[in-house]
Amino acid sequence: MRSLLFVPGDSDRKIAKAMSSGADALILDLEDSVALDRKEEARAMTRDFIASAKGQEKRPRLYVRINALATDLWSADLEGVMPAGPDGIILPKPRSGEDVHRLSLALDHAEERAGLKQGSTRIVAIATEVPICVLNMASFVGSSGRLEGLTWGAEDLSAEVGSTATREPNGSLTSPYRLARDLCLFTAVSAGVQPIDTVFIDFRDLDGLRAEAAAAARDGFTGKLAIHPDQVPIINAAFTPSQREIDHARDIVAMFAASPGAGVISLNGRMYDRPHLTRAERVLARAGLASGE
Ligand code: COA
Ligand code: MG
Nearest to 262 by CA among 248, 249, 276: 276
Q: Name every protein residue with a CB atom under 6 angstroms from any ligand 1 atom.
A: 5-8, 13-14, 17-18, 29, 32-33, 199, 203, 227-229
pLDDT tens for 167-199 read 999 999 999 999 999 999 999 999 999 999 999
Contact assessment for residue 222 and residue 239, using Cβ atoms and an 8 Å cutoff: yes
Q: Which ligand is nearest to the CA of 199?
A: 1
Integer CA distances (angstroms), 18 to 40, 69, 176, 189, 203, in order: 21, 27, 33, 29, 15
If one counts every other C-beta atom within 10 angstroms of the C-beta of residue 76, the result is 16
120, amino acid identity: S
Core vs surface per residue 39-50: b (16+ CB within 10 A) or e: beebbebbbebb
Distance 33 CA to ligand 1 centre (A): 11
CA 262 to chain centre: 36
Q: Whose CA is nearest to atom 14 of ligand 1?
A: 14
DSSP string covering 57-88, please?
A: SS--EEEEE---TTSSSHHHHHHHHGGG--SE
pLDDT in tens for each of the 293 residues of the chain? Answer: 999 999 999 999 999 999 999 999 999 999 999 999 999 999 999 999 999 999 898 899 999 999 999 999 999 999 999 999 999 999 999 999 999 999 999 999 999 999 999 999 999 999 999 999 999 999 999 999 999 999 999 999 999 999 999 999 999 999 999 999 999 999 999 999 999 999 999 999 999 999 999 999 999 999 999 999 999 999 999 999 989 999 999 999 999 999 888 889 998 899 999 889 998 998 998 887 655 44
Distance of CA 9 to the CA centre of its chain: 18
Q: 137: Cβ–Cβ under 8 A, 6 or more apart, which residues? A: 127, 128, 183, 184, 186, 187
Please give the sequence-ordered ranges of beta strands (E in DSSP) within 45-155, or none if there are none.
Answer: 61-65, 88-91, 122-127, 147-152
- 179 CA distance to ligand 1 middle (Å): 29
CA atoms in the 13 A half-sphere facing the CB of 101: 9
- Which residues pair with residue 29 across a beta bridge? 8, 65
CA of 200 to the centre of ligand 1 (A): 13
| pLDDT at residue number 126 | 98
Could you give the CA distance from residue 271 to residue 178 in angstroms, rounded to a whole number? 31
Atom of ligand 1 nearest to the CA of 29: 44
Residue 110: CB atoms within 10 A of its CB come to 19
What is the pLDDT at residue 285?
A: 87
Please give the distance of CA 248 from its chain centroid, rounded to a whole number. Answer: 27
